[in-house]
Amino acid sequence: MIRGERGQSLVEFALILPVLVIVLVGVFDLGRGVMLSETLGHAVREGARHAIVRGSTSSSPLGPATLTTPPAADNAATSVIRGHAIGINSVVTIVISWPDGNADRGSEVDVVATTSYTPILSQVFTGGGLAVTLRGGSRMVIQQ
């Protein structure tokens, strides 16, 4: 073995390891972002389903007005969305609207939820300066 090559593999490993760690954390971050986006979409679909099944017969304040939460936390569809938004730790803003102007059978309900997602690499390198807005939306027709 030549004297100058004894630590070559150690130096190469030390140069490649940070790049490998950043790539692996980035892949996990991307997967986590996709998982949270899918969770938000599922929660919104469940909230819209709750609104269309109950329609104008609901005892909660479902009706032809735009409700944004907070503060409309007493809305039953909003509670359903928050209950299904498992793993989303940040604030979820929910907007429920009735484009047809009423909550009667055959009318539509729009449900949109947004939240922010800060990747781990952004927290490490920019102090959380890069946040991605995740959005889920659903439009359904009232059945009851």
Spatial neighbors of 45 by CB under 8 A, at least 6 apart, are 136, 138
pLDDT at 67: 42
Q: 47: buried, middle or exposed (CB in 10 Å: 19+, 13-18, 0-12)?
A: buried
Using alpha carbons, select from 134, 136, 139, 73 the residue that is nearest to residue 107: 139
- Write the DSSP assignment of 51-85 as a string of letters: HHHHGGG-SSS-SSS-EEETT-TT-HHHHHHHHH-
- R_g of the chain computed on alpha carbons: 23
Alpha carbon distance, N-terminus to C-terminus of the chain:
82
pLDDT at 16: 96
pLDDT at 9: 85
In a structure prediction context, what are the per-residue pLDDT tens digits for the chain, which is 144 residues long? 566 677 888 889 999 999 999 999 999 999 999 999 999 999 999 988 988 887 655 544 444 444 433 334 336 788 888 888 888 877 898 888 888 877 778 888 888 999 999 898 888 888 878 889 999 999 999 877
pLDDT at 64: 45
pLDDT at 2: 65
Q: 10: buried, middle or exposed (CB in 10 Å: 19+, 13-18, 0-12)?
A: exposed
Where along the chain do its domains lie? Answer: 3-141
pLDDT at 86: 87
pLDDT at 134: 93
